[in-house]
Structure 1
Amino acid sequence: MNPLFAFLPNRFTRGAVRLLGAASLAALAGLPLAVHAQGAWPNRVVKIVVPFSAGSGTDVTARLVAEHLSSRLGQPFVVENKQGADGLIGAEQVAKSTPDGYTLGVIPSSAIVMNPALYKMPFDPMKDLVPVANLAGVGLVLGVQPEMPVRNVAELVAYLKERPGQLNFAAGSTFTRLAGEMFKHATGTDVVAIPYKGTAPQVTAMLGKEVQIVFDPFLGLPHMKAGKIRPLAVTSASRSSVLPELPTLRESGLRDVVVETWIAVFAPAGTPAAVVDKLRSEVAQIMALPDVRARLAGLSYDVITETPEQFSQRIRDDTARWAKTVKDANFKLNP
């Protein structure tokens, strides 16, 4: 008799062995099916949370990627807009979702690297989100009134230092306001921020001669081409494909001034590595498509290609840079 069943009466031994043997076989037979089911991502609808309104640059980018993911992976990728608090509400929803690959976020950098310096965060972007893939980015254009006697950044800085507190820049958003503050601190100049309710109104203010300087997210591009705003440089780390003739601020001598927003795919921490790897691979292939690049170029975005390690380092560097800018400017959001 099998010693495992020595405690059983003889009449039960054969039945017990048969029963346990059958159960073991059933468990073994079912194991590959369970593993297969767990690995068959996606097998239902995937929700992509966008923490800004429909029609925004982040939303348009998310829908473009979602369309291609749906086609390539055979399951619907559905965008859900969850705006509010500079992207904080939607980003928090992603961070606190079940990490099964069925809730993702397409989130702009401000909600990840700027908000920690401005808000009491209900989650930790570094710990509670997995950076899957950076998609695209755009900087700002530093522009001035065309009648100003400056044609490059060095001349602008010299002009401002001769006139402390006499000139101003348009601040249509937290992002453009802090871009101006970073520029001021790096150059040791005194320029007054004039608040506006949006980046479109700040372009209107430039055209109306209400302000002398603007940090513009390419909304004023037609006016720059028409000579109504003089562009001097871009604030991104590399030159823009939209205005390739313009130098970056780094090239202009301001090595520590990099202001750009990027849009990326994130997943909740704990999402299976196989899902993250598959999604990362699919997104990389999508972003290499000519039609995708052309569509993003129409929004003044440049596709970003970087390794996961480079993306993670970018997040750390940008978080530190914005924290320093907010502290240096003693900047606080209006209550």
Structure 2
Amino acid sequence: MNRIVRCLAIALASASSLAMSAVQAQDYPNKPIKLVVPFPAGGSSDGTGRLIADKLGQVLKQSVVVENKGGAGGLIGTDSVAKAPADGYTLVLVDVFHTSTPIYTKKMPYDAVKDFTPVSLIARSPAFLVAGPSFEPKTARDALAFAKAQPNKMTMAIAGTGSVVVDLFKARSGVQFVSVPYKGSSPALVDLLSGQVNVMITTMASAGAHVKTGKLRVLAVTGSKRHSDYPDALTFTEAGVAGMDYEQWFGVMGPANVPKPVVDKLSAAMATVLAMPDVREKLGNIALEVATAGADEMRRKVEGDSARWQRLAKELDIKPLD
């Protein structure tokens, strides 16, 4: 009898919880939503976050306020969302580094998969190997030949303490070069433009303006096909480096355990935002392709990339830093 009573109590509690979640979703959102961008204002993440926040607010008919909370390579702002109430009113803009940072960081304040609720992917983009104006090799093949003929002569800027795409390139190409870490893309690009470093693997969200003015040259692109905006740039495979199937992406997540009806409402709103022609155009201007919206797609991306970078860390014996 006691067992039956316990089962009934559990069933009633579950039904009550689902009912409360449904009521929450009907009323949601009834106050401003905060979208944390875990990087300083002015960067590509900030621009993407502000675009999405503005349009999401229009769809939901409620303010979506961007809060820049930079520090520790994005860990501080992201951690604040992991520890926020799971009510759908605190979200975070994440990118591919959300899944790769754990292989470089020993003391992670959160679990990149378990401590968050996926809401939606936003957009994806290949990464580009770009060269500074004083770097003599003019093509990707020339750059590889230069690096092979003169080990550790080529210098590559890295925006952060570690970069999976750079480590992937090093492993797949077999060339030896000097990695130069910077605290973000902006200072890295300054030195690339001035000739202090030779090359950088980055996105057009960061380097596009300098490519358009001719100050930087695109040598290669990740993925299986050339980019339509830069048709003369070889894929890494065409240049002789197979296995460079890497992409940058942006997405939105909340703390773990956000009620499903709230997530569904947010995901549907994101789908509406990403279908807007002006959003697609603005993202396309920085070589970002709108991704398939939805929580399931976001979950697959985060879980898949997290597992992939863990495998890469084992393959390359990457040791996390304190």
Give the TM-score of the pair, scaled to structure 1: 0.76
1:194-213 aligned within 5 A: 194-213=180-199
Q: Which has the larger radius of gyration?
A: 1
- Change beyond 3 A, Cα 1:70–1:144: closer
1:58 is matched with: 45
Do structure 1's residue 136 and structure 2's residue 123 form an aligned pair?
Answer: yes
- Give the Cα–Cα distance (whole angstroms) in 1 for the partners of residues 129 and 49 of structure 2: 27
2:36 is matched with: 49
1:122-133 aligned within 5 A: 122-133=109-120
- Change beyond 3 A, Cα 1:51–1:197: closer
State the aligned residue count: 300
Match of 2:179 among 190, 193, 207: 193
Given residue 96 of structure 2, which amino acid in structure 1 is its aligned partner? Answer: S
1:10-21 aligned within 5 A: none
Do structure 1's residue 166 and structure 2's residue 150 form an aligned pair?
Answer: no
Do structure 1's residue 81 and structure 2's residue 81 form an aligned pair?
Answer: no
Contact 1:139/1:236, CA 8 A, preserved across alignment? yes
Q: 1:163-215 CA deviation, whole Å, 9 max, x = no partner?
A: 2223222234346x543332111111111123445433433433433333322
Tell me the CA shift for residue 142 of structure 1.
0.8
Do structure 1's residue 117 and structure 2's residue 84 form an aligned pair?
Answer: no
Given residue 180 of structure 2, which amino acid in structure 1 is its aligned partner? Answer: I
- Give the Cα–Cα distance (whole angstroms) in 2 for the partners of residues 35 and 264 of structure 1: 24
Do structure 1's residue 269 and structure 2's residue 269 form an aligned pair?
Answer: no
- Give the Cα–Cα distance (whole angstroms) in 1 for the partners of residues 264 and 42 of structure 2: 29
Matched residue SS, 1:52: coil
The worse-fitting range, judged by mean Cα deviation, of 253-262 and 144-153 is: 144-153
- Change beyond 3 A, Cα 1:255–1:276: farther
1:294 is matched with: 281
Tell me the CA shift for residue 226 of structure 1.
5.3
- Change beyond 3 A, Cα 1:78–1:236: farther
Do structure 1's residue 183 and structure 2's residue 169 form an aligned pair?
Answer: yes
2:92 is matched with: 105
Contact 2:226/2:235, CA 8 A, preserved across alignment? yes
Tell me the CA shift for residue 242 of structure 1.
4.0
Q: 1:247-288 CA deviation, whole Å, 9 max, x = no partner?
A: 433555544223433221102221111111121111011111
The worse-fitting range, judged by mean Cα deviation, of 233-242 and 311-320 is: 233-242
Contact 2:134/2:195, CA 8 A, preserved across alignment? no
Given residue 163 of structure 1, which amino acid in structure 2 is its aligned partner? Answer: Q
Give the TM-score of the pair, scaled to structure 2: 0.79
Matched residue SS, 1:61: helix
- Change beyond 3 A, Cα 1:278–1:81: same
Contact 2:274/2:293, CA 8 A, preserved across alignment? no
Matched residue SS, 2:114: helix
Tell me the CA shift for residue 54 of structure 1.
2.3
- Change beyond 3 A, Cα 1:228–1:55: closer
- Give the Cα–Cα distance (whole angstroms) in 2 for the partners of residues 208 and 62 of structure 1: 30
Tell me the CA shift for residue 118 of structure 1.
2.2
- Give the Cα–Cα distance (whole angstroms) in 1 for the partners of residues 142 and 298 of structure 2: 34
- Change beyond 3 A, Cα 1:200–1:59: closer
- Give the Cα–Cα distance (whole angstroms) in 2 for the partners of residues 249 and 302 of structure 1: 20
1:22 is matched with: none
- Change beyond 3 A, Cα 1:142–1:65: same
Residue segments in structure 2 that go unaligned for 5+ positions in a row: 1-18
Q: 1:124-161 CA deviation, whole Å, 9 max, x = no partner?
A: 12112111111023343213367867555445334422
Larger relative contact order, structure 1 or 2 (CA cutoff 8 Å, min sep 6): 2
Matched residue SS, 1:113: helix
Contact 1:199/1:217, CA 8 A, preserved across alignment? no
Matched residue SS, 2:235: coil
Given residue 38 of structure 1, which amino acid in structure 2 is its aligned partner? Answer: Q
The worse-fitting range, judged by mean Cα deviation, of 287-296 and 163-172 is: 163-172
Do structure 1's residue 234 and structure 2's residue 233 form an aligned pair?
Answer: no
Tell me the CA shift for residue 300 of structure 1.
3.7
Residue segments in structure 1 that go unaligned for 5+ positions in a row: 1-32
- Change beyond 3 A, Cα 1:128–1:37: same
Contact 1:107/1:264, CA 8 A, preserved across alignment? yes
